[in-house]
Structure 1
Amino acid sequence: MATGWAGDGAVQDQIDATVKDAIKRARQQLPAGEGLEYCEACDAEIPPARRKAMPGVRLCVPCQESVDAENGQGAGYNRRGSKDSQLR
């Protein structure tokens, strides 16, 4: 029966679901398959340590950083709102 009140732990359940979704999205974006020795964007050599750490890597670090910046990687949900709204 719906009572209009959230159950105990409902907020934590929502946070857990958001984190699980973010992890799933991040894992789907990981490269797969055989990695490249040279960056497909700039033809710079991809160091062996990076290829070992990231199987399936296709871009060098500077090119990957550029792609991440363009795609807005790292931006998440702000559940608390702005700092100004918290101060009022």
Structure 2
Amino acid sequence: MATGWAGDGAVQDQIDATVEDAVKRARSRLASGPGLLHCEHCEEPIPAARRAAVPGVRLCVSCQELEDDELAASGYNRRGSKDSQLR
């Protein structure tokens, strides 16, 4: 592929840098720290095993599942196909 004055692999290097930046940005938004002892929605205790497995956990499993279901049902088209956007 003709890239002008760019060196070999420059396009791939740019793609890799873009992906790396996106991963860093996503990781920076993840919760961290000890997490909560009780769910912030229903006040049920969060088991120690969940707190150890999910740093910065704020919700019990039940509330997290409900929140995940709401996000999945939001209708946001992650695949970006034109056909699904027209429906």
TM-score in terms of structure 2 length = 0.56
Q: Runs ≥4 in structure 1, deviation > 6 angstroms?
A: none
Q: What corresponds to 1:17 in structure 2?
A: 17
Q: Which runs of 5+ in 1 are unaligned?
A: none
Q: How far apart in 1 are the matches of 2:48 and 2:41?
A: 17
2:34/2:51 contact within 8 Å kept: no
| 1:27-42 correspondence runs (5 A) | 27-42=27-42
Q: CA RMSD in A?
A: 3.5
How far the C-alpha of 1:52 sits from its partner, in A, is 0.3
Task: Tell me whether 1:48 sits opposite 2:52 in the alignment.
Answer: no
Identity of aligned pairs, percent?
Answer: 66
Q: How far apart in 1 are the matches of 2:71 and 2:62?
A: 11
Which amino acid is the alignment partner of residue 9 of structure 1? Answer: G
How far the C-alpha of 1:24 sits from its partner, in A, is 0.9
Which amino acid is the alignment partner of residue 28 of structure 1? Answer: S
Q: How far apart in 2 are the matches of 1:31 and 1:8?
A: 39
TM-score in terms of structure 1 length = 0.56
2:38/2:45 contact within 8 Å kept: yes
The count of aligned residue pairs is 75
